[in-house]
């Protein structure tokens, strides 16, 4: 009898755990959910060689920068590298910090969104075009909370969403099941309130659309060998 599919959720928060966000990315997952917090809990993995049997991995946001020189961040980068090279073909969704870290590790460059380095914060409109997570050409109201962004694409990736002032709002690898978004599809009222933004700006329709994006990643991860990977 096969074991239930595992979703590995990595929360690299450095200030407080993103309980609400972790719950949102796990909502509806039919198997086991394993939550790791490598920055808040020393030695909380993922460890070398461990976790590659997961059906999917979600890497959440963080106040840390993908450019920081931190031991847990180096360990996380080492763990992600086989996935990004295609040696461990685990479906991966990187969110905000996760988006930037994947791009950096894959050979892209990261920089500040604004010259004065202030936070891009609030509800914005992102336009998708040809994404496997959100097919077709459509707009999506999203929660933004970030200082940095992807400036130059890593090889093998393409932009599938943009918004005003942020060209690379979502990336996908051309062949591998690797997806990243600069915004926060898991963000809800608590997320906005903690950051001093008006939670009422996130309407029910936007929540439903963002939840649908997360659910699509679940379906792709569960499909495993049937992923629509482009040649």
Q: Which residues are catalytic?
A: 96, 184, 186
Distance CA 55, CA 91 (A): 7
SS3 217: helix
Query: Cis link prior to 46 (omega < 30° from 0)?
Result: yes
Contact 146, 187 (CB under 8 A): no
Which tokens sit at 181? 């978004």
Structure letter (DSSP) for residue 60: -
3-state secondary structure of 151: strand
Tokens standing for residue 196: 């001093």
Residue 47 carries which DSSP code? P
């Amino acid at each position: 009898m096969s074991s239930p599919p595992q979703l590995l959720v990595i929360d690299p928060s450095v200030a407080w755990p993103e309980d609400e966000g972790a719950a949102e990315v796990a909502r509806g997952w039919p198997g086991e959910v394993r939550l790791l917090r490598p920055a808040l809990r020393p030695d909380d993995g993922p460890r070398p060689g461990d976790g590659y049997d997961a059906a999917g991995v979600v890497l959440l946001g963080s106040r840390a920068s993908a450019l920081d020189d931190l031991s847990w961040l180096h360990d996380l980068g080492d763990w992600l590298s086989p996935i990004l090279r295609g040696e461990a073909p685990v479906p991966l969704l990187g969110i905000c910090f996760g988006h930037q870290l994947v791009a950096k590790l894959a050979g892209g460059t990261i920089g500040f969104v604004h010259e004065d380095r202030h936070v891009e914060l609030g509800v914005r409109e992102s336009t998708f075009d040809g994404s496997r997570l959100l097919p077709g050409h459509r707009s999506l109201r999203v929660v933004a909370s970030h200082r940095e962004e992807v400036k130059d694409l890593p090889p093998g990736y393409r932009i599938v969403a943009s918004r005003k002032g942020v060209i690379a709002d979502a990336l996908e690898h051309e062949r591998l099941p690797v997806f990243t978004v600069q915004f926060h599809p898991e963000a809800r009222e608590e997320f906005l309130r903690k950051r001093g933004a008006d939670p009422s700006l996130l309407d029910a329709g936007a929540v439903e659309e963002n939840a649908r994006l997360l659910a699509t990643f679940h379906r792709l991860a569960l499909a495993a060998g049937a992923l629509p990977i482009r040649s």
